Amino acid sequence: MNHKRIHRLYREAGLAVRRRRKRERVAVERRPLTVPSGPNQSWSMDFVFDALADGKPLKCLTVVDDCTKEAVEVAAARRINGQGVADLLEAVCRFRGYPTAIRTDQGPEFTGRALDQWAQANGVKLVLIQPGKPTQNAYIESFNGKFRDECLNENWFTSLEHARAVIAAWRRDYNQVRPHSAIGNLTPAAFAATIRDQGFAKPTPSDKLANQDSTK
């Protein structure tokens, strides 16, 4: 039986689910990630895993703009390989422009030929974090925590279509309704609009490739 169903049955019966006590973490020095000055300069990308009611796997590709904090994409499927990642990114970029760089871990979907060819064709730099160093991808790790706690753990997905609908609604709320303390308590969508109003142009593949050629 799925752990989320057990949790729901406990709540309906008026029983308390004992929560694990948080372990005290050892204080360590952490170097903050560089904050981009505009949208599409740097994105972060990762996978989050869950399961449907029938036990089949649910794999979610999460993509965040490091500057605006926008959830650029949260794509849900039963499986997503490297070509699937490239196809999803291409669909997103046709709408909002191509990023200068994308930061990921060294998972096989992110280090294979399909994504590498897509990145080279569109002038996108792939930045890989060190193995076992999730703090080097802190922006997406923070987003993934919210996504899991507020969406995945709170819903019982009866089908893939149901999961996609719920996730899409949560993403809209995250981008358009909820303020974010790191961007002056604006919503990510409002913050992105403010930057665009200040004249920040979204780079296109031809723009970036031209800039690269001029520096050779």
pLDDT at 5 over 70: no
pLDDT of residue 185: 94
- Amino acid identity of 209? L
Mean pLDDT of 66-90: 98
Mean pLDDT of 77-91: 98
Question: What domains can be seen in the chain, in order of their start residue?
Answer: 36-134+156-198 (3.30.420.10)
Cβ neighbours, 10 Å, residue 50: 20
pLDDT of residue 13: 61
* Residue 186 pLDDT grade (very low, low, confident, very high; cuts 50, 70, 90): very high
Of the listed ranges 15-24, 84-93, 118-127, the least confidently predicted one is 15-24
Mean per-residue pLDDT of the chain:
85
Mean pLDDT of 55-71: 98
Going by C-alpha positions, the residue among 154, 106, 109, 148 that lies closest to residue 130 is: 106
pLDDT of residue 12: 63
Q: List, in sequence order, every residue forming a beta bridge with 102; answer none if it has no partner.
A: 43, 126
* Residue 118 pLDDT grade (very low, low, confident, very high; cuts 50, 70, 90): very high
| Residue 60 burial by Cβ neighbours in a 10 Å radius (0-12, 13-18, 19+) | buried
**Spatial separation of the C-alpha atoms in residues 57 and 160, rounded to whole Å:** 10
Mean pLDDT of 7-17: 57
pLDDT of residue 197: 78
pLDDT of residue 100: 97
Q: List, in sequence order, every residue forming a beta bridge with 61; answer none if it has no partner.
A: 47, 75
**Span 119-174, pLDDT tens digits:** 999 999 999 999 888 889 999 999 999 999 999 999 999 999 999 999 999 999 99
Going by C-alpha positions, the residue among 210, 195, 213 that lies closest to residue 69 is: 195
pLDDT at 213 over 90: no
How far are the Cα atoms of 61, 74, 101, 181, 209 from residue 56, in angstroms, in the given order?
A: 17, 19, 33, 36, 42
**Spatial separation of the C-alpha atoms in residues 22 and 80, rounded to whole Å:** 33
SS3 state at 2: coil
Which of 29-33, 172-176, 180-184 has the highest mean predicted lDDT (pLDDT)? 172-176
Angle between helices 160-176 and 188-197 (to 10 degrees): 50
**Secondary structure percentages of the chain, helix, strand, coil, to 5:** 45, 15, 40
Handedness of CA 98, 100, 102, 108 (dihedral sign): positive
